A and B are shown apart, each in its own frame.
Chain A
Amino acid sequence: MIRSLRSSYKGWLLAGIVLLLLIAIPLVILFSSLFTTPQSSKAILEQTLPGEAFFNTLALCVIAAVVSLFLGGGTAWLVTQYQFPLRKFFSWSLALPLTIPGYILAFTYAGIFSFSGPLQTVIRNQFGQDRAQALHFDIMNLPVLGLLFALALFPYVFLSAKAAFSIQSARQIESARSLGKKGSSILMKIALPLSRPALAAGVFLVMMEVINDYGAASYFGIRTYTTALFRTWGYDIQAALLLAGWILLFVFGLLIAERLLRGKARYQNTARQSYVPITPLKGFRAWTATFLCSIPFVFGFLIPFSFLGYWAMQTAPKIMNDHFFVLTWNSIQLAFIATIVIVVVALILAYVRKLHQSFSGKIIAQFINVGYAIPGAVIAVGVLAFSGWSDAMIAHFGSAKGLFFTGSIAMLIFAYLVRFLAVAYQPLEAGLEKNHGSLGESSRSLGKSPLRTLLFVELPLLRNTVLVAAIMVFVDVMKELPLTLILRPFNFETLATETYRHAKIMESVPESSSAALILIFIGAIPVFVLSRLMTEKHGT
C-alpha cells in the first residue's frame, strides 16, 4: 500500500477519485432513499405505483429477451455458417433496426395500425367502413409491445452472437465438424454453450433498454416501473426517489443474474482470429434462410423506415419551421457538449486506471460499467435530488437564492455523463490497454510526464477509438428520451422530446416523423463507421 502511494501520480489519482465520487453521488442518494424515505411519501407511492408495474416490466423484459434471442441468435447463426442469397447484405443490415429507438418504432407501428393510419384507410376505401372496423385490431397491448422491443433491440444479440460464432468458437466448430457432427448438433452442443457469455451480454442489454424505456410504454398505456416513476415524480420527489431506488435494486438483481449466468465461463478467444468456412445452401433451403433473415429486417427496419419517410414527405412543409430548426440545433449542440465532457472524463478515468494498475482498477471499471445498466429516468431522479440539494446549499450559505442547478443544461449534461460514461469508457480502456505498455513507459523514461505521454503518445495511437467512442456517445445522447424529458430546462425541446411530444401529446405520429428520421440517420452513423473501421482493420 505504502509502496503504491509512494509511486502514485497523486494529481491523476485525485482527479480520478473526485470524478468517480461526483458520478456516484446520484446513485448514493438513490440508495440512501431506500432507508430514509418518510412515511408520507411511502403512502403516496402506494397510490401512484400500480400493482401490475412489476409484473408488466418483468413480462416485457422476458418477451423481448426471448424473442430477440431467437431473432438475433438465429440470424447470426445463419449469417456466420451458411451461404445463401443476400447473406452479405444481412450480415451488416441486420444491425440497422438498432438505429430506430424503441419508442419511435412503437409510435410508428401504432400509427400504421391506428384508425386514421394507412392500413385502415386502405381497407376502408376498398371494402367499406364495416369491414375496416371488423379488421381493426388493437396492437396497443403488452405482448405486442414486447415484440416491438424485440424488433428494435434484437441487433444487440445479433451483433454479439455474430462475433462469438464467427471468431471465438471458430476452431471448436471446425474440430466438431472434423469429428463428424452436423450443423444443428454443432449449434446445440458447441456454439451455443461456448457463446453463452456473449448471448447473455446481448440479452442483458436488451432487457436494460426495455427497463429504460418510457416513451413506448407510456404511449401504449402499459404501466411499468418507469412510467410509474414519471407519475410519482409529478407528485412527490421523495416517493420518486424511493421508487427509483427499488428499480435500481431490480436492475442490480438482473446484473447479478447475468454474471451468474455467465458463470466462471470467461471463454477466451484462444485461437487467433480465424473464420469458419461457410457451408453453401442450395435451392429451397437457401431461400428459406434468406426469408428467415428478411423477417426481422423488414419488420424491424424496412417497414417503419418507409412509413416514416412517407409521413415525413407529407408533413415536412408543416413541420419544417423555425421551431424545428432551433430544436435540431439544440439537440446537436447538447449532444456535442455532452460528448466532449463524457469522452474527456472517460479518458481521464481510463488513463488513471492504466497508470495505477494496482489501484483496485477493476472495481472502478465495474462501477463505471454499471452506470449504463441504470435506466435514464432513475438517474434523472437521482440527479434531480442532487441538484435540488445543491441549490438548497447555495441558498443556505450564499446570499443568492434561486435554482442554479435544477433545470440547468449543466445538470442535464451531468446526468448524461452518469448514464453514458461506460459507453465511452469501455472502448477507451480497451484501446489504452492495447497500446503496448512499453510505449507509455518509454515516453516516461524519456522524461515526459504522464499528461504529455497521454497527449503525444497514447492519444495519437487512439485516434480511431476516440472517434468511435465519441460517435457512440453522441448518438446515445441524441436518442435518450426519459432522462431528457425529466431534466431538460423549461421549454427546451430536443429531437427526441419533440418526437415524443408530437406522437403522444399532440397525437400525430406522422408529424413526429421528421424528427424521428433525423434521429435514425444520426443513429446510422455508427453502424457505417464501425463496419468501415472493421473492414479497414482486416484489410491491413
Chain B
Amino acid sequence: MGLELKNISRSFGKNRFALSGINFSMQKGEILALLGESGSGKSTLLRIIAGFELPDKGSINLSGKTICDEKISLHPEKRNIGLVFQDYALFPHLNIEKNIAFGQKKNPSRTTNEWLALVGLPGMGKRYPHELSGGQQQRVAIARSLAAEPELLLLDEPFSNLDDSIRSSVRGEIRDIIRSTNTTAVFVTHDTRDCMAVADKVIVLSNGKLLQEGDPKQLYIQPCNSYVARIFGEVNIVEGEIARQLSGLKKFGIRPQHIIPGNDFSCTVLSCRFDGDHYDLELDLNGSKLHFHSDQPYTKDEVIRISFPKDKIIDLSHES
C-alpha cells in the first residue's frame, strides 16, 4: 500500500474551504499529479501531506501507517516524506555533495557520487549551488530528497521555473530518475502537459474539491465536466436544441482537432487563421460557433461540411 488520504478537509475561517473532503489512494511506485489552477488547494494539499500544514479533519496513511489524523500528527521530519520545493531550497552554504548527504541515513543504498551520476551531474560534488544552472539545481534537489530514501517524494511545481526550451526534456529526465528508484511520488502542477508526460494518475482539483481522478488519457478523452475538459485543451461546448440535433445529447463537448471534414452538417466559415501546425477555423453551425482545426485554408463565407466522430463526443448532458 502506498499513500491513502481519507476525507481531508482544511478551512480558512468560516465557510471558506481550502480543501473539502479529499479522498484518494495510490500504489507504491506510482507517480501522481495534483492538477489545478492557483487557489485550487493543490499546494495546501501537498503541504498537508508533507506535514507543514494540518488538516482540520481526515487522516493520512503512508505504507499502512497513520501519519496524521484528528489526534496525532507526525512532525515533518518524522514522516519520511521528501519534499522538493519550487525554489529547490538548496542549502547555499553547503556544496552539492554535502547537500545530497544532508538527509542520508546510515548505510545508504547509494553513495553521493552514485546519486550525482544518477541525476546526470557526475563530478559536480564540490561545486556550490549558485554555480549551477536552474535545471541542474533542480536535479540536485531531487537527488537530495531521494538520497534520504523517503517512502514518498513530493514535488511542488517542479516544471514551472524552467524555460520552455528544456521543459519537455526535463520532464522525461525527472520521470526516469523517479522510476529508476521505484519511489512513490506526488507532484503539483497547473500544466496538463506535465501530467501527460510524467504522471500515471492525475487528480484534478478546483476550489478545494476533487473533481476527477484517472490516468491522463482518460481525463483527456472522458472529462467529467466542462471545467476538466477545458483545462485539458481547447474544446467546443454545445448545448440546447442545437446540441440535441447534432448529437442527441442535451450538452456535449468536442475538441477542434477531433472534428473531421464529412457530410453530416454544413456550416459557414466565419474566419480562418493560420496557427502553425494547422488552420484554426471559426465556423457557424445553425447559429452556434465552433472551432475546427483544418489542414487546409478556407475563405470567409465559404460553406463546408463536417462530421463529429461518435467516439470523440464528450457527453456533458448531466451539466445542463
A112 to B86, CA, bound (A): 65
A156 to B102, CA, bound (A): 43
Indicate if the CB atoms of B85 and A7 lie closer than 8 Å.
no
Residues on B with beta carbons closer than 8 Å to the beta carbon of A439: 89, 91
> Within the complex, what minimum Cβ distance (angstroms) separates A351 from chain B?
15
A9 to B74, CA, bound (A): 11
Given contacts A442-B85, A445-B50, A445-B81, contact A7 B73 (CB under 8 A): yes
Residues on A with beta carbons closer than 8 Å to the beta carbon of B145: 445-446
Indicate if the CB atoms of A443 and B82 lie closer than 8 Å.
no
Convert A393-421 into 0s and 1s, putting 1 for each residue whose CB lies closer than 8 angstroms to a CB of B.
Answer: 00000000000000000000000000000
**Residue A46 is within 8 A (CB to CB) of chain B in the complex:** no
Residues on B with beta carbons closer than 8 Å to the beta carbon of A449: 77
Interface of A is mostly: helix
Convert B41-75 into 0s and 1s, putting 1 for each residue whose CB lies closer than 8 angstroms to a CB of A.
Answer: 00000000011101010000000000000011101
Residues on A with beta carbons closer than 8 Å to the beta carbon of B52: 441
From the candidates A446, A450, A456, name the one contacting B148 in the complex (CB within 8 A).
Answer: A446
Indicate if the CB atoms of A446 and B72 lie closer than 8 Å.
no
A4 to B73, CA, bound (A): 11
* Residue of A6, A439, A441, A447 with most partner-chain B CB within 10 A: A447
Report how many residues on chain A are interfacial, defined by Cβ distance under 8 Å. Answer: 22
Residues on A with beta carbons closer than 8 Å to the beta carbon of B51: 7, 445
Interface of B is mostly: loop
Residues on A with beta carbons closer than 8 Å to the beta carbon of B144: 442, 446
Question: What class of interface size applies to chain B in its complex with A?
Answer: 20 to 34
Q: Which residue of A lies closest to B80 (CB)?
A: A447
Indicate if the CB atoms of A457 and B91 lie closer than 8 Å.
yes
Indicate if the CB atoms of B73 and A447 lie closer than 8 Å.
no
Residues on A with beta carbons closer than 8 Å to the beta carbon of B75: 7, 9, 444
**Residue B287 is within 8 A (CB to CB) of chain A in the complex:** no
A448 to B72, CA, bound (A): 19
Indicate if the CB atoms of B82 and A446 lie closer than 8 Å.
yes
**Residue A436 is within 8 A (CB to CB) of chain B in the complex:** yes
Indicate if the CB atoms of A444 and B76 lie closer than 8 Å.
yes
**Residue B256 is within 8 A (CB to CB) of chain A in the complex:** no
**Residue B134 is within 8 A (CB to CB) of chain A in the complex:** no
Indicate if the CB atoms of A461 and B93 lie closer than 8 Å.
yes
> Within the complex, what minimum Cβ distance (angstroms) separates A448 from chain B?
6
Given contacts A7-B73, A444-B75, contact A438 B82 (CB under 8 A): no
A277 to B102, CA, bound (A): 46
**Residue A532 is within 8 A (CB to CB) of chain B in the complex:** no
From the candidates B54, B56, B79, B105, name the one contacting A7 in the complex (CB within 8 A).
Answer: B54
**Residue B276 is within 8 A (CB to CB) of chain A in the complex:** no
A441 to B47, CA, bound (A): 10
A325 to B144, CA, bound (A): 54
Indicate if the CB atoms of B56 and A444 lie closer than 8 Å.
no
Indicate if the CB atoms of A441 and B76 lie closer than 8 Å.
yes
Q: Which residue of A lies closest to B98 (CB)?
A: A456
From the candidates B54, B77, B86, name the one contacting A445 in the complex (CB within 8 A).
Answer: B77
Indicate if the CB atoms of B148 and A6 lie closer than 8 Å.
no
Convert B253-266 into 0s and 1s, putting 1 for each residue whose CB lies closer than 8 angstroms to a CB of A.
Answer: 00000000000000
> Within the complex, what minimum Cβ distance (angstroms) separates B128 from chain A?
13
Indicate if the CB atoms of A441 and B89 lie closer than 8 Å.
yes
Q: Which residue of A lies closest to B56 (CB)?
A: A3
Given contacts A438-B87, A439-B89, A461-B92, contact A445 B56 (CB under 8 A): no
**Residue A460 is within 8 A (CB to CB) of chain B in the complex:** yes
A444 to B52, CA, bound (A): 9
Convert B126-161 into 0s and 1s, putting 1 for each residue whose CB lies closer than 8 angstroms to a CB of A.
Answer: 000000000000000000110010000010000000
A305 to B105, CA, bound (A): 60
Closest 5 CB pairs of A and B: A446-B103, A438-B89, A445-B83, A442-B89, A438-B85
- New A-B pairs, 10, CB < 8 Å, besides A445-B76, A446-B144, A448-B102: A3-B54, A436-B89, A438-B89, A441-B76, A444-B75, A445-B79, A446-B145, A456-B102, A460-B93, A461-B92
25 contacts between A and B (CB under 8 A): A3-B54, A6-B71, A7-B73, A7-B75, A9-B75, A436-B87, A438-B85, A438-B87, A439-B91, A441-B83, A442-B91, A442-B144, A443-B103, A445-B76, A445-B83, A446-B77, A446-B82, A446-B102, A446-B145, A447-B77, A447-B103, A447-B148, A448-B102, A457-B91, A460-B93
